[in-house]
A and B are shown apart, each in its own frame.
Chain A
Amino acid sequence: MNIDPQNKRREDAPMPVLEAVKALGEGFATTLKHLFRRPITEEYPEEQRPLPARSRGRIVLTRDPDGEERCVACYLCSAVCPVSCISMQSAEREDGKRYARWFRINFSRCIYCGLCEEACPTCAIQLTPQFDHCKRDILDMVYEKEDLLVDHCGKNADYNFYRHAGILTRAHAKGAHPDEEAPVDVRTNLP
């Protein structure tokens, strides 16, 4: 026997008839009023609503402001991914810098949680607002590096990890790579 706290009345007790008729009438009037409103439906494929930049859709691998691949194949995204849908193979370039030889995301498993983006130290892997990538064949949902790598920086357009951290390889010391500036001295950032 539930007591409705607002009305101090047993919920299953019959309503006074007048009250009930009034409540019904209000309901019918409301729907009738709606009949004369313009529909607010968005017709999706034709009308696409711009989504917030941070909405979590299809994943891309972004590049540095210099046009270099950001990903250093550190496996952090792969490790953090709760459904293990990221796999890759790390490799080293001539100048000693690491990169992913191949990089694969199985979107049919991805749950778009965004943890990979959180984990990535270089802002390489990013989720984009594009949510409508569906395929007839489930194997087409497996994206290779060619499909993932884009030629822009995504969010954080001017962020360049190596300017801050420098590049330390077997071939060169930090700041000693050709065209490389010395890394930011973190102590100068202290107050």
Chain B
Amino acid sequence: MLTWLLGLLILMIKLGVVLGCLLFFAAYLVWIERKLLARLQVRIGPNRAGKFGLLQPIADAIKMLTKEDIVPQAADRMIFLLAPAIVAATALLMFAVVPFGPDIRVAGRPVAMVISDLHVGLLFVFALSSLAVYGVALGGWASNSKYSLLGGIRGAAQMISYELALGLSLVPIVMMSGSFSLVDIVNHQARYPFLLVQPVAFVIFLISAMAESKRIPFDLPEAENELGAGFHTEYSGMRFGMFFIGEYVHMQVLGALVAVFFLGGWRGPWLPPALWLMIKMLAVCLVLIWIRGTLPRLRYDQLMAIGWKVLLPAALINLWITGIVVAI
């Protein structure tokens, strides 16, 4: 009984810390993104709220919370309200299996530096990213607007298309490490990060994960000018913000997953493991912002073509070659 309670307590603490950090970083990732994008375009970026605009996330939050919150008259209220939560929650939940370091000992007990070391961690990540499709599709459907409905379908189609390549790009990783558990995958990179042996998988994973999290150049759901935006057209205020919190948390997840699968996770000299993971995560996020600052948005047919005609075959070929090599 006591051990059970203690376990629960530890879990709660871990959850609290991870959730708090995630949301805090999500807010400041927005700031970093705006600032860095601005500099990439020779602008200054946010600089009004606080020094260097550091209070900008707080200002944004206040603004979103005080904005008029509209629910369209004929919308399906329940689902309309649920959709942003689904998007944000699925992104947050993915962190449950991301390991922040090797087990540590607290008062003689081993404590895993991961909320839950699932044996099927990788499948869990995929399951959640498939669930996020529901947030988008339902949000578009429940708005009771044709624009939103089409946007939702478009978004869902995009996410599903890239999910295949995403999944296939990681199968070689599973084959090499012989486990679905993210902790095992990191442990398998003790000698060298998988980036060195699986560069193709890395590129495919990065591109399809970008599409999956609806980041530029795959941000068609946000194409307000040319497509009349997408599934979130009818959302306002903080509900709209929830979608974007989801997106920025997703970006961190992406960074963490790239770090875990390809960059050796928490491994690194001198610094504490959790810090290494964060550094790698941030580095990936910075690269994503750089990509955003450089590439223009794709057209929908181009987006689909890249997903089905380039990434998917490439992932399959990569899988095939890895299979042969592993078998030998």
Binding site for B on A (CB under 8 A): 24, 27-28, 30-32, 34-35, 37-41, 43
**In the bound complex, how far is the Cα of B40 from the Cα of A43, in angstroms?**
18
Contacts of B295 in A (CB 8 A): 24, 27
Asked whether, in the complex, the Cβ of B290 is within 8 Å of the Cβ of A31, the reply is yes
- Point out which of A31, A35, A39 has the most chain B C-beta atoms below 10 A from its C-beta: A31
Give chain A nearest CB distance to B120 CB in angstroms. 36
Report chain B residues within 8 Å CB of A28.
Answer: 290-291, 294
Residues of B within 8 A of A24 (CB): 295
Which residues of the other chain, B, contact A39 by a CB distance below 8 angstroms?
38-39, 42-45
A39 to B43, CA, bound (A): 5
Nearest-CB distance from A28 to chain B (Å)?
A: 5
Most buried by A among B38, B41, B291: B41
Closest residue of B by beta carbon distance from A30: B294
Instruction: Name A34's contact: one of B41, B45, B47, B291 (CB within 8 Å).
Output: B41
Residue B293 at the A interface, CB < 8 A? yes
Cβ of A34 and Cβ of B290 under 8 Å apart? no
CA separation between A38 and B38, bound complex, in Å? 11
| B133-163 near A? 1/0 per residue, CB < 8 Å | 0000000000000000000000000000000
Complex Cα spacing A17 to B42, Å: 30
A96 to B42, CA, bound (A): 62
Instruction: Check if B44 sits within 8 Å of A31, measured CB to CB.
Output: no
A35 touches B43 (CB 8 A): no
- Residues of chain A within 8 A (CB-CB) of B40 are 31-32, 34-35
Cα–Cα, bound, A37→B261 (Å): 35
Q: Which of B42, B44, B45, B294 sits near A27, CB closer than 8 Å?
A: B294
Closest residue of chain A to B37 (Cβ to Cβ) is: A31
**Can you name 7 A-B pairs with beta carbons within 8 Å?**
A32-B40, A32-B290, A34-B41, A38-B42, A39-B43, A39-B45, A41-B42
A37 to B39, CA, bound (A): 8
Determine the residue in chain A with the shortest Cβ distance to B36. A35
Report the bound CA distance from A184 to B5 in whole Å. 105
Chain B residues lying within 8 Å of A30, measured Cβ to Cβ, are 294
Mark contacts of B41-70 with chain A using CB atoms, 8 A cut-off: 1 yes-contact digit, 0 otherwise: 111110100000000000000000000000
Tell me the complex Cα distance, A38–B36, Å: 13
- Let me know if B294 and A40 touch, CB within 8 A: no
9 additional contacts (CB under 8 A) given A39-B42, A39-B45: A27-B294, A31-B41, A31-B290, A32-B290, A34-B41, A37-B42, A38-B42, A40-B43, A41-B38
Q: Mark B278-309, 1 if CB is under 8 A from A, else 0.
A: 00000000000011011100000000000000
Give Cα A40–Cα B41 distance, bound, in whole angstroms.
Answer: 9
Contact at A31–B293, with CB atoms within 8 Å?
Answer: yes
- Among B40, B47, B295, residue most surrounded by chain A Cβ atoms (within 10 Å): B40
Shortest beta-carbon distance from A92 to chain B in Å: 54
Q: CA of A157 to CA of B7 in the docked complex: distance in angstroms?
A: 86
**6 shortest interchain CB distances as A-B pairs:** A41-B44, A31-B294, A39-B44, A31-B40, A27-B294, A41-B43
Residues of A within 8 A of B290 (CB): 28, 31-32
Residue of A32, A34, A35, A43 near B44 (CB, 8 A) is: A43
A43 to B43, CA, bound (A): 10
Task: Return the CB mask of B182-226 against A: 1 if under 8 Å, else 0.
Answer: 000000000000000000000000000000000000000000000
Complex Cα distance, B293 from A37, in Å, reads: 15
How long is the Cα–Cα vector from A34 to B41 in the complex, in angstroms? 6
Residues on A with beta carbons closer than 8 Å to the beta carbon of B294:
27-28, 30-31
